[in-house]
Amino acid sequence: MEILSYYSDPYCHEIEATVTSVSEVTSDMKKALKVSLGLVPDPVCAVMFDRTIFYPEGGGQPGDRGFLEVEGRDLVIADTHKLHNNVVHGEPSDGGEDCPDSDHGLGIVPVHFVLCNPDEINLGTVVKLKLDWNHRYSFMQEHTAQHLVSGLLYSMFSIGTVSVHLGQDEFTVEVSEPEVSDEKMLEIEKAGNDAILSADEVSCNFVSHDEAESLGLRRSIKVDTDVRLVGIAHRDCVACGGLHVSRTSECRILLYMGQEKIRGNVRTIWKTAEPAMNMIHEEHSIIRSLCAMQSARPSELVSKVKDITENLTEERQRNSALRIKLAEHMIQSELGGGNPVVAMSLEAGSIDILSFAQAADAFTDLALCVISEGSDKELWLILLKGRYEQLDFSLVRKKLLSKIGAKGGGRPPLFQGMAPKMTKAEVEKFLAGFIAMAGAEHE
């Protein structure tokens, strides 16, 4: 089985290894790649080595990626997964349980997904494995920060962790509570940052299953072999197969970003390390720009935005009232004789078509049809009010709307929708048809 050098030296960037297996990807592998990468690369093959520094996906931590240097070429390793998890015991002399690179019987067999055809890599070839270190290190920082959060939640408030997810820019911790206050989360944030400033040591070591059981860990043990424990000074200790930084100070900072409800629990959202610092710098830049635009201090921005929003709302209300008044005037100017039937077309960018529906409140009897020109379609509105409510809209749909391919509907007195782009002549024909139909109803 492969020697897991990522356990003995998680900070190793490169290592020489010998190819022990090259194969086509199986259907199960393709499904796993679809989940982790969002697609199945082509070409891609599954490669194993006698040793590896590439961590396989597991425990919420993504698999490592990087490069395979072979015969002067750099082939992309897109992802790393576990091939299987059968219990395997080895002898100390051949990388067994006393070896720092051993998995202590967990049966971890990493498989590397290399973007090439299987015949491009030969068995027995000595190659160089090169990590995408920024990717790996970011998740080491996140994983340690997540342990810190989960440990503090448990020790400070007796709140258990249900599940975790480590993402590119943030990580989440789902807790076993229907509600958790932001005040408590900010206490966790402060305690976490105190731990980061303390540069607490993060320890990773294997102990017997019986010894691990006797420690009363905050989370149940999921294996029946030796147990790998990850501890953060006096703040947390839990079984974990993932990779971590050596001291909490490497996480740099911990930020609570908020929470959301999920499955009757609460999912808390966090940032750490570079993503947290990037967000701070970005938001600081935004605040400085807004302060300059408003000639205001940061503490004044909320009230400034509130004033702008209120003024904008009032302005929109005034504009809406004016548009309705204009639509009412346009309808009135089209009325003639004793037959209140109006059909008109609007140019693109002119008055909002719905203003005519609101303007109809000023009329007792009205049959109104409006076509509004769009860039690639036409909007239509038909309003049948007063005595015109008796006009069967299904007939209008059959005799007029269906002939122009219109879609839409509604209920009395208002119907609306859209239609394919029409020529000016087609619009005029449609409007004339509406006038004739509504006029016949009036007679």
- 104, pLDDT greater than 70: no
Taking the C-alpha atoms of residue 100 and residue 9, their distance in angstroms, rounded to an integer, is 9
pLDDT at 337: 63
Q: Classify burial at 239, counting beta carbons within 10 Å of its beta carbon; exposed 0-12, middle 13-18, buried 19 or more.
A: buried
- 86, pLDDT greater than 80: no
pTM higher than the cut 0.85? no
pLDDT at 439: 78
Taking the C-alpha atoms of residue 237 and residue 219, their distance in angstroms, rounded to an integer, is 9
pLDDT in tens, 381-419: 999 999 899 889 999 999 999 999 999 999 999 999 999
The CATH architecture to which 319-442 belongs is Roll (3.10)
Distance between the two ends of the chain, CA-based, in angstroms? 92
Q: Which tops the pLDDT comparison, 100 or 6?
A: 6
Sheet of 202-207: strand order equals: 202-207, 227-232, 236-239
The residues, any chain, with a CB within 8 Å of residue 87's CB and separated by 6 or more, are 105, 106, 107, 224, 225
- 201, pLDDT greater than 70: yes
Reported as a pLDDT band with limits 50, 70 and 90, residue 90 is very low
pLDDT at 2: 80
Q: What is the mean pLDDT of residues 234-243?
A: 94
Reported as a pLDDT band with limits 50, 70 and 90, residue 98 is very low
How is the chain split into domains, by residue range? 3-131, 137-280, 319-442
Q: Classify burial at 435, counting beta carbons within 10 Å of its beta carbon; exposed 0-12, middle 13-18, buried 19 or more.
A: middle
Q: What is the mean pLDDT of residues 154-164?
A: 96
- 336, pLDDT greater than 80: no
Taking the C-alpha atoms of residue 438 and residue 392, their distance in angstroms, rounded to an integer, is 10
pLDDT at 221: 85
Sheet of 254-262: strand order equals: 161-166, 171-175, 265-272, 254-262
Structure tokens at 97: 């349980």
pLDDT at 339: 76
* Residues 273, 245 contacting (CB under 8 angstroms): no
Question: Which fold is adopted by the domain 3-131?
Answer: Elongation Factor Tu (Ef-tu); domain 3 (2.40.30)
Q: What is the mean pLDDT of residues 28-55?
A: 94
Taking the C-alpha atoms of residue 372 and residue 351, their distance in angstroms, rounded to an integer, is 9
Report in angstroms the alpha-carbon separations of 242 from 59, 64, 236, 324.
7, 12, 15, 64
Cis peptide bond prior to 43, omega within 30° of 0: yes
Average pLDDT of the chain to the nearest whole number: 91
User: Is the four-CA dihedral 155, 156, 158, 159 of positive or negative sign?
Assistant: negative
Q: Which tops the pLDDT comparison, 373 or 141?
A: 141
Chain mean position to CA 253: 23
pLDDT at 308: 96
Which residues, in sequence order, are bridge partners of residue 346?
372
Q: At what angle do helices 133-157 and 182-198 cross, to 10 degrees?
A: 120
CB neighbours of residue 322 within 10 Å: 12
Give domain 137-280's CATH superfamily. Threonyl-trna Synthetase; Chain A, domain 2 (3.30.980.10)
